[in-house]
Amino acid sequence: MKKKARRPAEGGGLNITSMMDMMTIILVFLLKSYSTTDVSVTPSKDLQVPVSTARKPPKMAVNVVVSQKEIVVDGKSILELGSYSDPETGAPTVAVPAEKKRGQSIPELYEVLFDKAESQKQINARLGEEFKGQILLQCDKRLPFEVIREVMYTAGQAQFSEFRFVVIKSGD
Amino acid sequence: MASKRGAAAEELNLVPIMNLVTILIPFLLMAAEFVSVAVIDSTLPAIGAPSTAEEKPEEEKKPLNLSVIITGSGYTVGGSAAVLQNREGDGPTIPCKDVGCPKVDSYDVAELQRLLGEIKDEYADEQNVILVPGSRIAYEVIVVTMDATREDPSKPVDGRPRDLFPYVVIAGGAQ
Protein backbone atom coordinates (compact mmCIF):
# COMPACT_ATOMS: atom_id res chain seq x y z
CA MET A 1 0.00 0.00 0.00
CA LYS A 2 2.66 2.43 0.99
CA LYS A 3 4.81 1.50 -1.93
CA LYS A 4 1.96 1.92 -4.33
CA ALA A 5 1.07 5.35 -3.04
CA ARG A 6 4.64 6.51 -3.19
CA ARG A 7 5.21 5.69 -6.79
CA PRO A 8 4.47 8.77 -8.84
CA ALA A 9 5.62 9.24 -12.40
CA GLU A 10 9.10 10.39 -11.24
CA GLY A 11 9.82 7.57 -8.87
CA GLY A 12 11.69 8.16 -5.65
CA GLY A 13 9.08 10.42 -4.09
CA LEU A 14 10.36 13.69 -5.43
CA ASN A 15 7.75 16.37 -4.95
CA ILE A 16 8.01 18.58 -7.95
CA THR A 17 4.88 20.63 -7.66
CA SER A 18 6.80 23.61 -6.37
CA MET A 19 9.19 23.43 -9.27
CA MET A 20 6.24 23.26 -11.60
CA ASP A 21 4.89 26.44 -10.07
CA MET A 22 8.17 28.20 -10.70
CA MET A 23 8.40 26.91 -14.24
CA THR A 24 4.88 27.96 -15.01
CA ILE A 25 5.49 31.49 -13.77
CA ILE A 26 8.69 31.74 -15.79
CA LEU A 27 6.89 30.41 -18.81
CA VAL A 28 4.15 32.99 -18.51
CA PHE A 29 6.69 35.76 -18.14
CA LEU A 30 8.66 34.68 -21.15
CA LEU A 31 5.57 34.29 -23.26
CA LYS A 32 4.67 37.81 -22.36
CA SER A 33 8.05 39.25 -23.26
CA TYR A 34 8.45 37.27 -26.43
CA SER A 35 9.12 39.64 -29.26
CA THR A 36 9.44 39.08 -32.95
CA THR A 37 11.62 41.99 -33.95
CA ASP A 38 14.68 40.53 -35.46
CA VAL A 39 17.08 43.16 -34.26
CA SER A 40 18.66 41.67 -31.20
CA VAL A 41 21.05 43.70 -29.20
CA THR A 42 23.16 41.47 -27.05
CA PRO A 43 24.77 43.75 -24.51
CA SER A 44 28.12 42.52 -23.41
CA LYS A 45 31.24 44.01 -22.01
CA ASP A 46 32.33 45.03 -25.47
CA LEU A 47 29.02 46.22 -26.79
CA GLN A 48 27.17 48.75 -24.72
CA VAL A 49 24.73 50.53 -26.92
CA PRO A 50 23.89 54.06 -25.80
CA VAL A 51 20.55 54.93 -24.28
CA SER A 52 18.44 57.42 -26.14
CA THR A 53 15.05 59.06 -26.11
CA ALA A 54 14.41 57.89 -29.66
CA ARG A 55 11.30 55.83 -30.13
CA LYS A 56 11.32 54.63 -33.72
CA PRO A 57 11.06 50.86 -34.00
CA PRO A 58 13.79 49.11 -35.96
CA LYS A 59 13.16 47.43 -39.26
CA MET A 60 15.17 44.67 -40.75
CA ALA A 61 18.23 45.73 -42.67
CA VAL A 62 21.86 44.80 -42.93
CA ASN A 63 23.15 44.64 -39.38
CA VAL A 64 26.56 46.05 -38.64
CA VAL A 65 27.81 45.75 -35.09
CA VAL A 66 30.86 47.72 -34.06
CA SER A 67 31.98 46.69 -30.61
CA GLN A 68 35.13 47.55 -28.75
CA LYS A 69 36.82 44.52 -30.19
CA GLU A 70 35.60 43.92 -33.71
CA ILE A 71 33.28 44.78 -36.55
CA VAL A 72 30.62 42.19 -37.28
CA VAL A 73 28.28 42.26 -40.28
CA ASP A 74 25.17 40.09 -40.02
CA GLY A 75 26.81 37.80 -37.54
CA LYS A 76 30.07 37.39 -39.39
CA SER A 77 33.15 39.00 -37.91
CA ILE A 78 34.91 41.16 -40.48
CA LEU A 79 37.85 42.64 -38.74
CA GLU A 80 39.20 43.28 -35.30
CA LEU A 81 39.81 46.65 -33.83
CA GLY A 82 43.01 47.44 -32.05
CA SER A 83 43.50 49.31 -28.84
CA TYR A 84 45.92 52.14 -28.81
CA SER A 85 46.79 55.09 -26.72
CA ASP A 86 45.37 58.37 -27.81
CA PRO A 87 48.34 60.46 -28.95
CA GLU A 88 46.87 63.59 -27.40
CA THR A 89 45.52 62.51 -24.08
CA GLY A 90 47.23 59.18 -23.58
CA ALA A 91 43.94 57.59 -22.72
CA PRO A 92 43.32 54.09 -24.03
CA THR A 93 41.23 54.15 -27.14
CA VAL A 94 40.05 51.85 -29.88
CA ALA A 95 40.64 52.30 -33.57
CA VAL A 96 40.73 50.48 -36.84
CA PRO A 97 44.30 49.31 -37.40
CA ALA A 98 46.09 51.54 -39.85
CA GLU A 99 46.91 48.72 -42.24
CA LYS A 100 43.22 47.92 -42.60
CA LYS A 101 42.28 51.39 -43.64
CA ARG A 102 42.70 53.18 -46.88
CA GLY A 103 42.11 56.80 -46.10
CA GLN A 104 38.67 56.92 -44.60
CA SER A 105 37.57 53.63 -46.03
CA ILE A 106 37.92 50.09 -44.75
CA PRO A 107 38.38 47.78 -47.75
CA GLU A 108 37.45 44.49 -46.07
CA LEU A 109 34.27 45.98 -44.75
CA TYR A 110 33.58 47.61 -48.10
CA GLU A 111 33.74 44.28 -49.93
CA VAL A 112 31.30 42.61 -47.58
CA LEU A 113 28.91 45.54 -47.67
CA PHE A 114 29.13 45.81 -51.42
CA ASP A 115 28.12 42.16 -51.76
CA LYS A 116 25.27 42.72 -49.37
CA ALA A 117 24.12 45.71 -51.35
CA GLU A 118 24.18 43.74 -54.56
CA SER A 119 22.16 40.85 -53.17
CA GLN A 120 19.75 43.29 -51.57
CA LYS A 121 19.31 45.05 -54.89
CA GLN A 122 18.52 41.76 -56.58
CA ILE A 123 15.93 40.93 -53.96
CA ASN A 124 14.41 44.35 -54.30
CA ALA A 125 14.35 44.10 -58.08
CA ARG A 126 12.55 40.82 -57.91
CA LEU A 127 9.97 42.24 -55.57
CA GLY A 128 9.60 45.32 -57.65
CA GLU A 129 10.79 47.68 -54.94
CA GLU A 130 13.61 50.10 -55.06
CA PHE A 131 16.80 49.63 -53.20
CA LYS A 132 16.85 51.89 -50.22
CA GLY A 133 20.28 51.33 -48.85
CA GLN A 134 19.29 50.98 -45.22
CA ILE A 135 21.80 49.78 -42.75
CA LEU A 136 21.52 49.19 -39.03
CA LEU A 137 24.44 50.36 -36.99
CA GLN A 138 24.99 49.10 -33.47
CA CYS A 139 28.00 50.75 -31.92
CA ASP A 140 29.48 50.61 -28.51
CA LYS A 141 28.96 53.90 -26.76
CA ARG A 142 32.58 54.41 -25.90
CA LEU A 143 33.86 54.27 -29.46
CA PRO A 144 35.50 57.42 -30.79
CA PHE A 145 33.70 59.05 -33.63
CA GLU A 146 36.64 58.37 -35.93
CA VAL A 147 35.84 54.65 -36.05
CA ILE A 148 32.18 55.31 -36.69
CA ARG A 149 32.96 57.85 -39.35
CA GLU A 150 35.12 55.33 -41.17
CA VAL A 151 32.41 52.70 -40.98
CA MET A 152 29.82 55.16 -42.25
CA TYR A 153 32.08 56.30 -45.06
CA THR A 154 32.72 52.72 -46.14
CA ALA A 155 29.01 51.95 -46.00
CA GLY A 156 28.31 55.06 -48.03
CA GLN A 157 30.72 53.89 -50.67
CA ALA A 158 28.88 50.59 -50.79
CA GLN A 159 25.72 52.59 -51.47
CA PHE A 160 24.19 52.34 -48.03
CA SER A 161 23.13 55.87 -47.33
CA GLU A 162 20.31 55.44 -44.83
CA PHE A 163 21.85 54.88 -41.46
CA ARG A 164 19.77 53.67 -38.59
CA PHE A 165 21.61 53.92 -35.33
CA VAL A 166 20.38 51.30 -32.93
CA VAL A 167 19.90 52.60 -29.42
CA ILE A 168 18.28 51.35 -26.27
CA LYS A 169 15.08 53.06 -25.31
CA SER A 170 15.38 55.06 -22.15
CA GLY A 171 13.04 54.49 -19.24
CA ASP A 172 9.93 56.46 -20.08
CA MET B 1 -10.92 4.13 -1.51
CA ALA B 2 -7.49 5.56 -1.16
CA SER B 3 -6.91 5.45 -4.87
CA LYS B 4 -10.20 7.17 -5.64
CA ARG B 5 -9.73 9.99 -3.17
CA GLY B 6 -6.10 10.61 -3.84
CA ALA B 7 -6.26 10.01 -7.56
CA ALA B 8 -5.84 13.61 -8.48
CA ALA B 9 -2.96 14.26 -6.11
CA GLU B 10 -1.02 11.04 -6.41
CA GLU B 11 -1.43 9.90 -9.94
CA LEU B 12 -1.24 13.17 -11.83
CA ASN B 13 1.05 12.53 -14.72
CA LEU B 14 3.32 15.52 -15.00
CA VAL B 15 5.47 14.25 -17.80
CA PRO B 16 3.63 15.96 -20.65
CA ILE B 17 3.62 19.26 -18.83
CA MET B 18 7.31 18.92 -18.10
CA ASN B 19 7.91 18.22 -21.78
CA LEU B 20 6.16 21.40 -22.72
CA VAL B 21 7.98 23.45 -20.15
CA THR B 22 11.38 21.99 -20.91
CA ILE B 23 11.05 22.74 -24.59
CA LEU B 24 9.41 26.12 -24.36
CA ILE B 25 11.47 27.76 -21.66
CA PRO B 26 14.88 27.55 -23.31
CA PHE B 27 13.37 28.66 -26.59
CA LEU B 28 11.67 31.64 -25.06
CA LEU B 29 14.69 32.52 -22.99
CA MET B 30 16.74 32.78 -26.11
CA ALA B 31 14.11 34.84 -27.87
CA ALA B 32 13.24 37.05 -24.93
CA GLU B 33 14.00 40.69 -25.31
CA PHE B 34 15.29 42.20 -22.16
CA VAL B 35 16.17 45.49 -23.72
CA SER B 36 13.83 47.35 -25.98
CA VAL B 37 15.46 48.84 -28.96
CA ALA B 38 14.83 51.91 -31.05
CA VAL B 39 16.59 53.49 -33.98
CA ILE B 40 17.72 56.97 -34.89
CA ASP B 41 17.58 57.73 -38.58
CA SER B 42 20.23 59.66 -40.32
CA THR B 43 19.32 59.46 -43.91
CA LEU B 44 21.92 61.34 -45.81
CA PRO B 45 25.46 60.39 -46.67
CA ALA B 46 27.68 60.99 -43.76
CA ILE B 47 30.77 62.40 -45.28
CA GLY B 48 31.39 65.62 -47.03
CA ALA B 49 29.66 68.92 -47.27
CA PRO B 50 26.30 69.52 -45.66
CA SER B 51 23.49 68.09 -47.69
CA THR B 52 22.19 70.02 -50.60
CA ALA B 53 18.72 68.55 -50.42
CA GLU B 54 17.29 71.50 -48.58
CA GLU B 55 18.75 74.22 -50.74
CA LYS B 56 16.14 75.75 -52.93
CA PRO B 57 17.47 78.07 -55.57
CA GLU B 58 17.04 81.76 -54.93
CA GLU B 59 14.40 81.76 -52.24
CA GLU B 60 13.95 84.68 -49.93
CA LYS B 61 14.66 82.51 -46.94
CA LYS B 62 18.25 81.45 -47.02
CA PRO B 63 18.84 77.94 -45.71
CA LEU B 64 19.92 78.05 -42.15
CA ASN B 65 22.46 75.19 -42.33
CA LEU B 66 22.30 74.88 -38.60
CA SER B 67 25.33 73.05 -37.41
CA VAL B 68 26.38 71.84 -34.01
CA ILE B 69 30.06 71.15 -33.70
CA ILE B 70 31.04 68.86 -30.86
CA THR B 71 34.57 69.28 -29.66
CA GLY B 72 36.53 68.28 -26.65
CA SER B 73 35.63 71.52 -24.95
CA GLY B 74 31.95 71.93 -25.70
CA TYR B 75 29.40 72.70 -28.35
CA THR B 76 29.81 75.30 -31.05
CA VAL B 77 26.56 76.24 -32.70
CA GLY B 78 26.73 77.84 -36.10
CA GLY B 79 24.74 78.43 -39.21
CA SER B 80 24.63 80.54 -42.32
CA ALA B 81 26.55 83.68 -41.88
CA ALA B 82 25.01 86.57 -40.01
CA VAL B 83 21.94 84.70 -38.83
CA LEU B 84 23.06 83.27 -35.57
CA GLN B 85 23.45 84.84 -32.23
CA ASN B 86 26.35 82.88 -30.83
CA ARG B 87 29.15 84.50 -29.04
CA GLU B 88 32.15 84.99 -31.27
CA GLY B 89 35.60 84.65 -29.95
CA ASP B 90 37.68 81.74 -28.97
CA GLY B 91 36.12 78.83 -27.27
CA PRO B 92 32.90 77.03 -27.89
CA THR B 93 29.47 78.58 -27.76
CA ILE B 94 28.43 76.30 -24.97
CA PRO B 95 31.44 75.12 -23.03
CA CYS B 96 31.34 72.00 -20.99
CA LYS B 97 30.52 72.15 -17.34
CA ASP B 98 33.83 70.48 -16.57
CA VAL B 99 36.97 71.52 -18.34
CA GLY B 100 38.01 69.02 -20.97
CA CYS B 101 34.59 67.36 -21.02
CA PRO B 102 35.68 64.14 -19.36
CA LYS B 103 32.25 62.58 -19.09
CA VAL B 104 29.08 62.53 -21.11
CA ASP B 105 27.35 64.58 -18.42
CA SER B 106 29.91 67.34 -18.78
CA TYR B 107 28.24 68.50 -21.96
CA ASP B 108 25.70 71.19 -21.20
CA VAL B 109 22.75 69.68 -22.97
CA ALA B 110 20.19 71.87 -21.23
CA GLU B 111 21.87 75.00 -22.47
CA LEU B 112 22.11 73.55 -25.96
CA GLN B 113 18.40 72.84 -25.94
CA ARG B 114 17.65 76.31 -24.70
CA LEU B 115 19.72 77.85 -27.48
CA LEU B 116 18.18 75.59 -30.09
CA GLY B 117 14.77 76.50 -28.79
CA GLU B 118 15.53 80.15 -29.43
CA ILE B 119 16.73 79.35 -32.92
CA LYS B 120 13.62 77.28 -33.53
CA ASP B 121 11.50 80.19 -32.42
CA GLU B 122 13.01 82.23 -35.20
CA TYR B 123 13.13 79.52 -37.83
CA ALA B 124 10.10 77.41 -37.09
CA ASP B 125 10.14 75.66 -40.44
CA GLU B 126 13.69 74.51 -40.28
CA GLN B 127 13.99 70.79 -39.57
CA ASN B 128 17.57 69.95 -40.38
CA VAL B 129 20.63 70.06 -38.26
CA ILE B 130 24.15 69.13 -39.14
CA LEU B 131 26.20 67.47 -36.49
CA VAL B 132 29.94 67.76 -36.74
CA PRO B 133 31.65 65.69 -34.08
CA GLY B 134 35.38 65.73 -33.53
CA SER B 135 37.30 62.55 -34.18
CA ARG B 136 37.82 61.74 -30.54
CA ILE B 137 34.30 62.35 -29.38
CA ALA B 138 32.64 59.29 -27.89
CA TYR B 139 29.62 57.88 -29.69
CA GLU B 140 27.57 58.26 -26.56
CA VAL B 141 28.03 62.01 -26.65
CA ILE B 142 26.85 62.08 -30.25
CA VAL B 143 23.71 60.14 -29.37
CA VAL B 144 22.97 62.43 -26.44
CA THR B 145 23.42 65.43 -28.71
CA MET B 146 21.11 63.93 -31.31
CA ASP B 147 18.51 63.45 -28.59
CA ALA B 148 18.91 67.08 -27.62
CA THR B 149 18.52 68.38 -31.15
CA ARG B 150 15.53 66.21 -31.93
CA GLU B 151 13.14 67.39 -29.29
CA ASP B 152 12.92 69.37 -26.10
CA PRO B 153 10.95 67.65 -23.36
CA SER B 154 11.09 70.62 -21.04
CA LYS B 155 8.75 72.62 -23.21
CA PRO B 156 5.95 70.30 -24.17
CA VAL B 157 3.55 71.21 -26.90
CA ASP B 158 0.22 69.38 -26.85
CA GLY B 159 1.56 66.92 -24.34
CA ARG B 160 4.52 65.89 -26.48
CA PRO B 161 8.01 67.28 -26.26
CA ARG B 162 8.57 70.17 -28.54
CA ASP B 163 10.12 69.22 -31.88
CA LEU B 164 13.33 70.99 -32.60
CA PHE B 165 15.35 69.69 -35.52
CA PRO B 166 14.51 66.05 -36.10
CA TYR B 167 16.46 65.51 -39.32
CA VAL B 168 20.07 65.10 -38.46
CA VAL B 169 23.00 64.69 -40.79
CA ILE B 170 26.34 63.65 -39.46
CA ALA B 171 29.16 65.35 -41.23
CA GLY B 172 32.65 64.01 -41.16
CA GLY B 173 34.74 66.94 -40.62
CA ALA B 174 35.97 68.61 -37.48
CA GLN B 175 39.18 67.76 -35.73
Per-window interface: A 83-102 vs B, CB < 8 A: 86, 88-89, 93
Residue B130 near residue B65 (C-beta atoms within 8 A): yes
How far does Cα B166 stand from its chain's mean position?
9
pLDDT at residue B48, as a whole number: 39
Q: Does B30 touch chain A (CB under 8 A)?
A: no
Residue A103 Rama label (left phi>0; alpha psi -120 to 50; beta):
left
pLDDT at residue B83, as a whole number: 44
CB under 8 Å to B147, separation ≥6 — which residues?
A: A52, A53, A54, B109
Is this complex scored with an ipTM above 0.90?
Answer: no
In a domain, B20, yes or no: no
Between CA B175 and CA B170 the distance in angstroms is: 14
CB under 8 Å to A49, separation ≥6 — which residues?
A: A41, A43, A138, A139, A140, A141, A166, A167, A168, B37
Per-window interface: A 121-140 vs B, CB < 8 A: 136, 139-140
Q: What is the 3-state secondary structure (H, E, C) of A4-15?
A: HHCCCCCCCCCC
CB under 8 Å to A77, separation ≥6 — which residues?
A: A70, A71
Tens of pLDDT, residue by residue over B9-48, are 577 787 888 888 888 888 877 776 667 788 888 876 544 3
Instruction: Kindly report the CATH number assigned to the domain that includes residue B121.
Output: 3.30.420
Segments forming the whole domain that contains residue B142: 63-170
Contact A165 B140 (CB under 8 A): no
When pLDDT is cut at 50, 70 and 90, the band that residue B152 belongs to is confident
pLDDT beyond 80 at A72: yes
B162-B168-B171-B175 Cα dihedral, nearest 10 degrees: 30
In a domain, B121, yes or no: yes
Question: For a pLDDT cut of 70, what percent of chain B falls above it?
Answer: 73
Between CA B160 and CA B151 the distance in angstroms is: 9
Domain count, chain B: 1
Question: For a pLDDT cut of 70, what percent of chain A falls above it?
Answer: 84
pLDDT at residue B51, as a whole number: 42
In a domain, B26, yes or no: no
In a domain, B78, yes or no: yes
Tens of pLDDT, residue by residue over B61-95, are 567 778 888 888 888 887 775 445 455 555 667 77
Average pLDDT over residues A139-149: 88
When pLDDT is cut at 50, 70 and 90, the band that residue B55 belongs to is very low
When pLDDT is cut at 50, 70 and 90, the band that residue B175 belongs to is very low
pLDDT at residue B82, as a whole number: 45
Contact B28 A34 (CB under 8 A): yes
In a domain, B67, yes or no: yes
Local structure of residue A131 (DSSP, 8 states): -
In a domain, B15, yes or no: no
3-state SS assignment for residue A93: strand
In a domain, B90, yes or no: yes
Residue among A31, A52, A148 minimizing CB distance to B147: A52
Q: Does A37 touch chain B (CB under 8 A)?
A: yes
Please state, rounded to an integer, the average pLDDT across all residues of chain B. 74
What are the residues facing B128 on neighbouring strands? B167
Between CA A107 and CA A44 the distance in angstroms is: 27
pLDDT beyond 50 at A169: yes
pLDDT at residue A123, as a whole number: 87
For B126, half-sphere exposure in the C-beta direction (CA atoms, 13 angstrom radius) is 23
Between B51 and A10, the higher pLDDT residue: A10
Between CA A155 and CA A149 the distance in angstroms is: 10
pLDDT beyond 70 at A9: no
Contact B146 A52 (CB under 8 A): yes
pLDDT at residue A4, as a whole number: 55
In a domain, B11, yes or no: no
pTM for the model stands at: 0.73
Q: What is the DSSP string of B80-98?
A: STT---PPPSSS-SEE-SS
